[in-house]
Structure formats: C-alpha cells, structure tokens
Homo-oligomer: A and B are copies of this chain.
Amino acid sequence: MSDTQLTGPLQRLMDELKKLPGVGARSAERIAFHLLKANRDDALALARSVTAVKDEIRPCSRCYNIADQELCHICRDGRRDQGQIIVVEQPKDLLSLEATGLVAGVYHVLMGHIAPLDGVEPSDLTIDALVKRVKSGEVREVVLATNPTVEGDATALHITSLLADMNVPVTRLARGIAPGSQIEFANRSMLEEAFRGRRGV
C-alpha cells in the first residue's frame, strides 16, 4: 500500500473533524493523532456513539426535543396545551421541568444558547423555528426557561426582541433559581417556585 493511501484515512478524519463547530485545523489534527494513537475500543466507542445518536434518536420536527419518530411524545400528546410553549436550552432541561408535573403546555428546545465568544450565533439555534411556531397563531404564551446565566439571559433577551411585535405574552421563569446555577441540577421545589412565579417580560 502506498504512503499516500495510508495517510488517506487520517486526512479524511481531519477533514470530517474540521466540519464540527469550534474545531479548527489545529484541533482537528490533534484529535486525529489522538485517535490514531488511542486504544482501539476507545476510538470505536466514539464512532459508535455518533452512529447511535443518528440511529436511535432524532430531533422532533416541531419542538426539537429528542424523539424516536417525527414528533416527540409531548408534541403527539393531545392533552397538552399547544398554546403554551416552554422554551428551554436543551433536552435535559425539559426533563427537569417535566418532572415537576406542572407544565401543561409544550416545549421548544433551542439546542444551546447564544455565545458569541464560542462562535454560537442565533442562527445556530432553533430560534427561527420558534418564531415560525409563534407566528402560526395558535400560541397564547411563550415561557422562557433558559438557564439563569449570562448566555441564557442573552438568549432570552434576543428571543424577547424577536417576539416583541407578535402580540403574544412572553414570560420567563421567576428568579427562584440561583443565578449561575443550572436548571438540570435544580431541585424540585426550586423549579416549582420558579415556574409558579413566572412573570411577564
């Protein structure tokens, strides 16, 4: 086998890695060398976990929650109030809020938060799809449940400005959650207070 054929797989791996957000040419090279040197099982565990994410789950076509069919089980549930959309950063936040049993509405998962320093722009999130849902006219309330962090607040502010002209009340979770903490780690009573105490923006 020629030298060039042998470097082929390494080069293709670097090219694929460079397509990932936040991974430049230097990181791609470093990760590729790491995987070349790594234990075979460890490297293949990564490949398998990527495949599993594409094979076993997919984003709900309406709310971007993790789903195993076109719509997630919450969007499919006829008893949920389609007029109330709870906007969260990630699926884990949705799980924490669901566990309170207080949410009658449905969700919208942003898939992250705006973070210009990390290169995450509004267009990298599912904000456009949220705006479309609200424009559709069925929505009576948008509850912003982003994390009480700098990035979460910036994301909430950005969404608020986009929804300002739409005549739909926008609320956000009450500050029962300690600023700087993460929703996924908040206890039930803190989340209940926060949900019950939500206020107009």
The stretch of A41-49, A166-174, A190-198 in contact with B is A41-49
Q: How far is the CA of A37 from the CA of B111 in the complex (A)?
A: 9
- Residue in B56, B58, B95 whose beta carbon sits within 8 Å of that of A3 in the complex: B95
Hey, which chain B residues are within 8 Å of A73, CB to CB?
A: 3
State the Cβ distance, A27 to closest chain B Cβ, in Å: 5
Residue with the greatest number of chain B CB neighbours at <10 A, chosen from A20, A21, A26, A29: A20
Q: Can you tell how many copies of this chain the complex includes?
A: 2
- Residue in B15, B22, B35 whose beta carbon sits within 8 Å of that of A31 in the complex: B22
State the Cβ distance, A77 to closest chain B Cβ, in Å: 12
State the Cβ distance, A115 to closest chain B Cβ, in Å: 8
Q: Which B-chain residue is minimally distant from A112 (CB atoms)?
A: B33
Q: Is the CB of A53 within 8 A of B21?
A: no
State the Cβ distance, A149 to closest chain B Cβ, in Å: 11
Q: How far is the CA of A20 from the CA of B67 in the complex (A)?
A: 27
The stretch of A5-13, A80-88, A130-138, A156-164 in contact with B is A5-13
Hey, which chain B residues are within 8 Å of A92, CB to CB?
A: 7
**CB of A4 within 8 Å of the partner chain:** yes
State the Cβ distance, A81 to closest chain B Cβ, in Å: 19
**CB of A59 within 8 Å of the partner chain:** yes
Once A6-B66, A7-B95 are accepted as A-B contacts, the answer to whether A53 and B30 lie under 8 Å apart by CB is no
Q: Is the CB of A58 within 8 A of B46?
A: no
A-B pairs, top 10 by smallest CB distance, nearest first, are A47-B50, A13-B49, A47-B47, A9-B52, A33-B111, A16-B46, A6-B66, A16-B49, A47-B51, A12-B49
